[in-house]
Amino acid sequence: QKEVEQDPGPLSVPEGAIVSLNCTYSNSAFQYFMWYRQYSRKGPELLMYTYSSGNKEDGRFTAQVDKSSKYISLFIRDSQPSDSATYLCAMSAPENYGGSQGNLIFGKGTKLSVKP
């Protein structure tokens, strides 16, 4: 079993739809959870960063962590064509806080396409 599982998609939705992106993980030591957005031919861009369980909202984006189920989600409301990108989840454990030891574990990424 891989440490982090993420459905690669592709996921295609109409403009204005609510998008749900998810990752599951197996290491219960993970406590820091991140979502990156990667446009084609660009580097990953940090979207959301959460610690432990709970929700965090930033504009149209909501990150949700359920540690009991080892499941994290990213919701995008009122999706726009400009949201079309690959979304990568990433996580790390306290002994390598925030990637200070370099150990961010990434999912494979979900490719999202929002159609006008």
Partner 1 sequence: SAVISQKPSRDICQRGTSLTIQCQVDSQVTMMFWYRQQPGQSLTLIATANQGSEATYESGFVIDKFPISRPNLTFSTLTVSNMSPEDSSIYLCSSAGGGTQYFGPGTRLLVL
The nearer residue to partner 1, 6 or 64, going by C-beta atoms, is 6
Least distance CB 12 / partner 1 (angstroms): 18
What are the counts of helices (DSSP H) followed by strands (DSSP E) for the chain? 0, 11
Least distance CB 99 / partner 1 (angstroms): 5
Check: CB of residue 87 under 8 Å from CB of residue 74: yes
The nearer residue to partner 1, 14 or 41, going by C-beta atoms, is 41
Least distance CB 109 / partner 1 (angstroms): 7
> Rounded distance, CA 40 to CA 93, Å?
29
- In order, the DSSP letters of 24-60 are EE--TT--EEEEEEE-TTS--EEEEEEESSEEEEETT
Interface positions with partner 1 (CB under 8 A): 4, 8, 32, 34, 36, 41-46, 49, 51, 88, 90, 97-104, 106-109
The nearer residue to partner 1, 19 or 48, going by C-beta atoms, is 48
